[in-house]
Chains A and B, each alone.
Chain A
């Protein structure tokens, strides 16, 4: 297998020229954002100016890399737009220092580059290995074990690991392992459809149990949505329908069970230890979130305070942001970043962000389909869906349409680990759809077709989605 070749200077110049319009657009956006930050105050403007070059380097690197490898530049443009808006918002909020933001950008670019390089180097061999899905399972298990043993609890959720002075949200990497496992399993032509579905579902169930144990329900929601989308896209007609019905039925049963558990626990007065306590805690959290979404005013100074502050922020934002400084939305740099985006940058910017996420999904999914590998197609689509859902759920939650969950909005919310994993996903998706890869996409594994396998489905390589 040949190693990744670094583009030559000529190729680099060609790539820069090809990416020039996109780089120019991103530069103009940075100027616009700088003017907006100037309106917000000297501190915001200075912070954004300090971040100007690192940000330009980060988004420029992705654009040039996409141009060099023949990936969809529109995906790079969308990602760049989101990163620039996210950085500008964090500078306006001032909750994260410029140094930390610069470090996050650097780590995300380097991490994504490293992953892409490693993928190019070793994917052809590794994807043939039958133990790879189980390695993904093992990796996921190791992450959960590390969280249970060494993890840090924040607001009742044990999703962080402190390494030195850094806090790493390990559940973000669970998403990557999940995408890897599902893409491998759901596109494995050697297994029957039922087997693929059950394996994928079993992995989801195991993650669900572990995530409930650490009380991280936002990631669980994201995994469920991505799983449903992948099954709907990769499984043939009736399996996809069964999946949807099964998911809906499971959701309904789960809600009923949650209500029964909560009511039983309240009737008992005290909650016993052990498994029942874990179930009760999860159900209580869901019930509280639903109650807050339904009527935040019922506990205006307690559980509903954040939701009410978020609503006030949405009302005050106007078209291009407001000057109201007295509105404080707790955790506005991460969980409630969308209302804060509206408050400081206005509804037009917020609507633009939502549409850019949609475009990221479209360009990412369609780009991934250009790959000759079923695995890459599924993984690329999965990454695009996950990034899209990381916008959809927080936006709907912070506007009060659905119960709020603590999912960080990719590229917009503060969080180094979220930034890193989102960059990895986007870079990989772009790589899968690249036309001038150093190493061609790995072929499908040469396995004897399973007699029970459906042949009228989407698992004929390349995937017909």
Chain B
């Protein structure tokens, strides 16, 4: 073999290798390269979508949330500050998220007129915009649920970096620079609920027949088998407490003690009744939560009983718990997608679904009675709300706040409130005190009143 033969042999081998490599890369033979096959499907879908005019998204009253400009095929999010995390994006290079990902097959499949289907959501646009304004750039979420149906009237999210789906590349680049910036607050992050989770222990106690435990609060409580004491907020000593006053003053020691009386099995059973520890698939996301499975030690039990320890849920899930209290024990399935419209055809209506009945009607009524004075202590009393033109059915409020201690010294502040129509939750992932949320909650309840008038 001459030297030229060797060189030609090398060149031939290189060409064969290259040809095989590019045939492998371009997925010419399905099944040979699964990764290339999925990339091909994605590329085909992306190319097909570019020939379709994107379906627009509306709120429950028909107001545009996204709109296709004249001569274009893609829609623009009209209120990116308030809606980017919900509307999301569906981009060949960047991927897909939000409603545009979940509803992509409807929004980006051409009907007879070459347009995708129109999506009508359950959102109330004015309420959504107001909810987003309440966050004022703070990392967190604001949620408003319809008690009767579970429809999500508002779900505003704000992360540590600005997120604008109309300028996707810049937004994702900025988010990639900061750890933990790339997820929607309110439906993804799981943190202890803090004092807002005391209703779980209260519900367990009521279900167990512990109607009115009287307890002398000395400012600390040390569970059996541990030397670590549990203290109240600001090391307060609250004296003689019952369930109502314990909720009013948010006594950690009372609930830690109550948890030990309720017992690990009963508290775990109540947590599971509230669907904690299970994945909850919704029409636009899946909620995850945990309580650690079992409270192995008295210390773990005590911690969970006042809303700390291994108990971790998302803000939306916490709102669902309060919604079930407001709805006489029926936990509705939250939904965001109401129906699709394509031409004259209306389809895909979600309908009202009940996820669970975690508490009885009597327990729910008792809890409401206990939480009403708590709401009044936050300034959410009937007189104050009526003076703000909140009509009578909405001015009776039940509420509970919470400030959870999270890893790294971070405080996650919650304020959950309900009236006969809606359940509200304001969650600030990196807050100072839940007392900062009283005024925004009052404003939110007031704002929802105008939406309730038009319901």
Contacts and interface: CB of A to CB of B under 8 A. Distances in A.
A357 B11 CA distance: 11
Interface string A202-242: 00000000000000000000000000010011000000100
Q: Which of A240, A314, A322 has the most CB of B within 10 A?
A: A314
Contact residues of B: prevailing secondary structure: helix
B15 to A, nearest CB: 5
A392 B18 contact: yes
B26 interface: yes
A399 B4 contact: no
Given A233-B3, A312-B92, A300 B18 contact: no
Interface stretch (B36-44, B266-274, B437-445): B36-44
A315 B36 contact: yes
Contact of B4 (A322, A354, A357, A369): A369
Interface string A298-330: 001110010010011011111100101111000
A395 B47 contact: no
A388 interface: yes
A265 interface: no
A362 B47 CA distance: 39
B47 A361 contact: no
Contacts of B81: none
Contacts of A342: 22, 26
Interface string B21-56: 111011110000000100110011011101100000
A324 B49 CA distance: 10
B224 interface: no
B169 A316 contact: no
A355 B19 contact: yes
Nearest to B39: A315
Contacts of B296: none
B25 A316 contact: no
B430 to A, nearest CB: 29
Q: Which of B14, B19, B48 has the most CB of A within 10 A?
A: B19
Given A327-B47, A369-B4, A351 B23 contact: yes
B303 to A, nearest CB: 43
Contacts of A465: 2-4
Given A300-B169, A365-B8, A395 B22 contact: yes
Given A301-B169, A327-B47, A355-B15, A381 B4 contact: yes
Interface in A337-369: 342, 347, 350-351, 354-355, 357-358, 361-362, 365-366, 369
Contacts of A305: 93
Contacts of A350: 22
B228 interface: no
Contact of B26 (A317, A365, A366): A317
B94 interface: yes
A43 interface: no
A395 B18 contact: yes
Contacts of B234: none
Contacts of A396: 18
Contacts of B21: 399, 401
A14 interface: no
Interface string A34-60: 000000000000000000000000000
Nearest to A237: B3
Given A399-B21, A458-B3, A300 B47 contact: no
A110 to B, nearest CB: 31
A455 interface: no
B7 A324 contact: no
B236 interface: no
A464 interface: yes
Given A297-B93, A350-B22, A326 B39 contact: no
A29 B22 CA distance: 24
Contacts of B25: 311, 314-315, 399-400
A458 B7 CA distance: 15
Contact of B22 (A318, A322, A399): A399
Nearest to B22: A399
Contacts of A318: 26, 28
A326 B28 CA distance: 21
A324 B48 CA distance: 7
Interface residues of A, number: 47
B47 A312 contact: yes
A392 B14 CA distance: 9
Contacts of A366: 4
The range of chain B's interface size is 20 to 34
A308 B27 contact: no
Contacts of B43: 311-312, 315-316
A146 to B, nearest CB: 34
Nearest to A319: B28
A131 to B, nearest CB: 30
Contacts of B92: 312
Given A354-B19, A392-B18, A361 B8 contact: yes
A115 to B, nearest CB: 25
Q: Which of A300, A311, A355, A369 has the most CB of B within 10 A?
A: A300
B7 A229 contact: yes
A316 B23 contact: no
A297 to B, nearest CB: 7
B12 interface: yes
Contacts of B2: 464-465
Nearest to A296: B93
Contact of B40 (A232, A315, A361, A401): A315
A413 to B, nearest CB: 17
Contact of A316 (B4, B18, B47): B47
A347 B22 contact: yes
Contact of B15 (A297, A300, A358, A369): A358
Contact of A324 (B15, B28, B47): B47
A317 B94 CA distance: 21
Nearest to A327: B47
Interface string B89-105: 00011100000000000
A308 B36 CA distance: 14
A316 B22 contact: no
A301 B92 CA distance: 11
A326 B4 CA distance: 45
B28 to A, nearest CB: 5
A388 B4 CA distance: 14
Contacts of A381: 4
The 10 closest A-B pairs by CB, nearest first: A326-B50, A300-B93, A465-B4, A324-B47, A315-B43, A301-B169, A315-B40, A312-B43, A314-B26, A358-B15
30 contacts: A233-B3, A300-B94, A308-B93, A311-B39, A312-B47, A314-B22, A314-B26, A315-B27, A318-B28, A322-B47, A324-B44, A326-B47, A342-B26, A347-B23, A351-B22, A354-B18, A354-B19, A355-B15, A358-B11, A361-B11, A369-B4, A388-B11, A392-B14, A392-B18, A395-B18, A395-B22, A399-B22, A400-B25, A401-B21, A464-B2
Interface of A: 229, 232-233, 240, 297, 300-302, 305, 308, 311-312, 314-319, 322, 324-327, 342, 347, 350-351, 354-355, 357-358, 361-362, 365-366, 369, 381, 388, 392, 395-396, 399-401, 458, 464-465
Given A317-B26, A400-B25, A401-B21, 20 more contacts: A229-B7, A232-B7, A233-B3, A233-B4, A312-B43, A312-B47, A314-B26, A316-B40, A319-B28, A324-B47, A326-B47, A327-B47, A351-B22, A358-B12, A361-B11, A365-B8, A369-B4, A399-B18, A458-B3, A465-B3
